[in-house]
Amino acid sequence: MTQGSLVLSDIQDHFDAEKPEASLSFTFKGRPMKINLKLNDDWVDTMLFTRFVELLKESDPAKIYLYYDLGGGQDCVLSCVKKTEFDCLKSEGIKFVPLTGPANFGEAESPHPAIKPVRP
């Protein structure tokens, strides 16, 4: 999706519905990272998007993630484009919204400790 702008390795996921807990671990720029996720039925924890927005800003500030609502519910389009490409989409009247975090999804900012570097 990022066309090489956000390189991750050693990607692992963890999901346990009985506990309940879920997380995503990976290496980014040589740093091990772990994102702890909240489980809420079949809805995605939007903190995941917040973290990827932050990582993309760090690795390629010329690019952003975009969100396009396909009519409510859980249907949407996510993309990653150069900021100049977003300007082009806006000029055509296409209503993509830059992802900045949970506020884009109608949620209040949450102080939960979902995202943290893994400490050795």
Give residue 105's pLDDT band: very low, low, confident or very high (50, 70, 90).
very low
Helices (H), the chain: 47-59, 83-91
Give the C-alpha separation, 12 to 91, whole Å. Answer: 39
Q: What is the pLDDT of residue 114?
A: 39
Give the C-alpha separation, 29 to 86, whole Å. Answer: 26
| Predicted structure pTM score | 0.77
CA 115 to centroid of chain Cα atoms: 11
Residue type, 40: N
Give residue 102's pLDDT band: very low, low, confident or very high (50, 70, 90).
low
Q: What is the pLDDT of residue 100?
A: 77
Q: Is the pLDDT of residue 33 over 70?
A: yes
pLDDT tens-digit readout, 6-24? 999 999 999 988 888 899 9
Q: Please tell me which residue, 88 or 104, carries the higher pLDDT value.
A: 88
Give the C-alpha separation, 60 to 5, whole Å. Answer: 6
Q: What is the pLDDT of residue 67?
A: 86
Give the C-alpha separation, 103 to 74, whole Å. Answer: 16
Give residue 101's pLDDT band: very low, low, confident or very high (50, 70, 90).
low
SS3 of 67, please?
A: strand
Q: Is the pLDDT of residue 112 over 80?
A: no
SS3 of 49, please?
A: helix
Query: Could you state, in order of their start, the residue ranges of all structural domains in the chain?
Result: 8-117
Give the C-alpha separation, 34 to 11, whole Å. Answer: 10
